[in-house]
Structure 1
Amino acid sequence: MVNQYTEITKYYDLWVTSGYYDYQSLAKEAHSIVGDGRQVLELGVGTGLLAQKYIELDPTCEFTGIDFTASMLEIAKQRLVNQVKLIEADAVTMDLNAKFDVAISNGGVWGILDRGDQAQWQFGGHVPGLEANRQGLANVGRHLKEGGLLLLHLQKPHDDFDKSLGEGIVYSQCIEEGEDTPNYYTFEKRYFFKKDVEIVAQEQITITVFKPETTRQMLTESGFDFQGTNNGDRFAIYKKR
């Protein structure tokens, strides 16, 4: 996997805390599903924003976060100060020599694109291609205890928009359609951070999204059974068989 947020690390927290995510609510909802004192793995921990809120709610948990962008992990280390085990790795190839009660992906690796009806849900994220995603799901399953949970953040479809972040910074994102195959489609997501019209940081990533039937097949074949959503409809809950 390619490091995909290196160029915008400096502005990442300013962007995602401007209303893009509500980490306090996400942590509360994840914790309400998981319970106290669990071994938690966050896939795509980023700068540690969700992890920080989660361990504030449950200091008794054992929290591990992985990410493949070293510059993001450096910020997470400063934020979390040894309260969380942070590892530079990706979900497809990680070998953590540990078993967890739950794996949480808040979009940092994967999520579920919520198009309304559950039958139209689409699994996808930063991992390219069909086989790598199958390998990644199987690998996550190997890192979960029997009956362990996989929580995937429910996200709405991506759109073009601009947003003022304060400090004179304006965030813009643009979406462009990519390839379309029988099993999945891709789109390019371009991020721009501007100050006084000048672009100060930018990044382009490719998101791979699997069509509904392939989504169900991949998760089932990887040993995950759908359990429902939490009360706030922030997470789709899957249980390892």
Structure 2
Amino acid sequence: MNNQYTGFTEYYDLWVTSGYYDYLDIAKEVYSVLGNGCQIIELGVGTGLLAQEYINIDPTCEFTGVDFTASLLQIAEKRLANRVKLIEADAVTMDLDTKFDVAISNGGVWGILDLGDRYKWEFGGHVSGVEANTQGLRNLARHLREGGLLLLHLQKPHQNYEQSLGEGIIYSQSIEEVENTADYHTLLKSYLFKKEGEIVVQEQIKITCFKPEISRKLLSEAGFDFQGTSNGDRFAIYKKR
């Protein structure tokens, strides 16, 4: 998996704290599924915003955050003050010698593109290709206890978007489909930050979205069965066999 966030870490945290996600509501929704005292791993913990809200709701949980962008983890470390175990690792190849009750990916390594009907959902994220995703999902399953849960963020179709972040900073994103195969299609998501009209940071991220039949096959063959969605429909819930 290629590291695609290093180039704009400073502005990433400003963007995601600007209301793009409501992390408190997301944490409450996750807690409504899990309850107290779970051993949790977040895949793509970023700067620790979901982890921060979740451990405030349930201080009895054991929360581990994995990310492979060191600069994001540095911000998370300051935010979380040692209340969460943070690990720099690639989710596809990580070897943590630990088994967890639940794995969460909220706009992180993986997610589900919600196209309405559940049978049209597309699994995908920042990992490219069938082989790497197969490896990553099986590796994740290896880190979960039998009956452990996988919560994947349900993402509406990506759209062009622009937002003021204050202090003269404008964030914008644009989406372009750059590849379409029998198994998947690839989106190029371009991020742009302007300050007082001048570009200060720009970055591009590739997102792979697998066709519905391939999505179901990838998750099933890795040992995950669909259980339903969370109460607010923010997450698709899978259980490890």
Query: Could you state the TM-score of these two structures normalised by the residue count of structure 2?
Result: 0.99
Structure-1 residue corresponding to 2:159: 159
- For the aligned residue pairs, the C-alpha RMSD in angstroms reads 0.7
Paired residues for 1:17-166 under 5 Å: 17-166=17-166
Q: Distance in 2 between matches of 1:143 and 1:28?
A: 24
Q: Distance in 2 between matches of 1:192 and 1:171?
A: 6
- Secondary structure of 1:137 counterpart: helix
Q: Please state how far the C-alpha of 1:3 moved relative to its aligned partner.
A: 1.5
1:170-229, Cα deviation, whole Å (9 max, x unpaired): 001011111111110101001000011111111111000000000111111110000000
1:142-188, Cα deviation, whole Å (9 max, x unpaired): 00000000000001011112111111100010111111111101010
1:64-90, Cα deviation, whole Å (9 max, x unpaired): 000010000000000001100000001
- Secondary structure of 1:226 counterpart: strand
Q: Please state how far the C-alpha of 1:54 moved relative to its aligned partner.
A: 0.4
Structure-2 residue corresponding to 1:203: 203
Q: Distance in 2 between matches of 1:149 and 1:239?
A: 5
Q: Please state how far the C-alpha of 1:101 moved relative to its aligned partner.
A: 0.2
Paired residues for 1:147-226 under 5 Å: 147-226=147-226
Q: Distance in 2 between matches of 1:12 and 1:20?
A: 11
Write the letter of the residue equivalent to 2:177.
E
Q: Distance in 1 between matches of 2:16 and 2:22?
A: 8
Q: Which 5+ residue runs of structure 2 have no aligned equivalent?
A: none
Q: Please state how far the C-alpha of 1:17 moved relative to its aligned partner.
A: 2.1
1:11-47, Cα deviation, whole Å (9 max, x unpaired): 1122112221110011111111111011000000000
- Secondary structure of 1:7 counterpart: helix
- Secondary structure of 2:64 counterpart: strand
Write the letter of the residue equivalent to 2:50.
L
Q: Which runs of 4+ in 1 moved over 3 A?
A: none
Q: Distance in 1 between matches of 2:128 and 2:83?
A: 32
Q: Distance in 2 between matches of 1:29 and 1:193?
A: 31
Q: Distance in 1 between matches of 2:14 and 2:140?
A: 30
Write the letter of the residue equivalent to 1:27.
A
Aligned residues: 241
- Secondary structure of 1:173 counterpart: strand
Write the letter of the residue equivalent to 1:94.
M
- Secondary structure of 1:202 counterpart: strand
Q: Which 5+ residue runs of structure 1 have no aligned equivalent?
A: none
Q: Distance in 1 between matches of 2:119 and 2:20?
A: 26
Does structure 1 residue 228 correspond to structure 2 residue 228? Answer: yes
- Secondary structure of 2:3 counterpart: coil
Query: Could you state the TM-score of these two structures normalised by the residue count of structure 1?
Result: 0.99
Q: Distance in 1 between matches of 2:43 and 2:31?
A: 16
Q: Distance in 2 between matches of 1:230 and 1:189?
A: 27
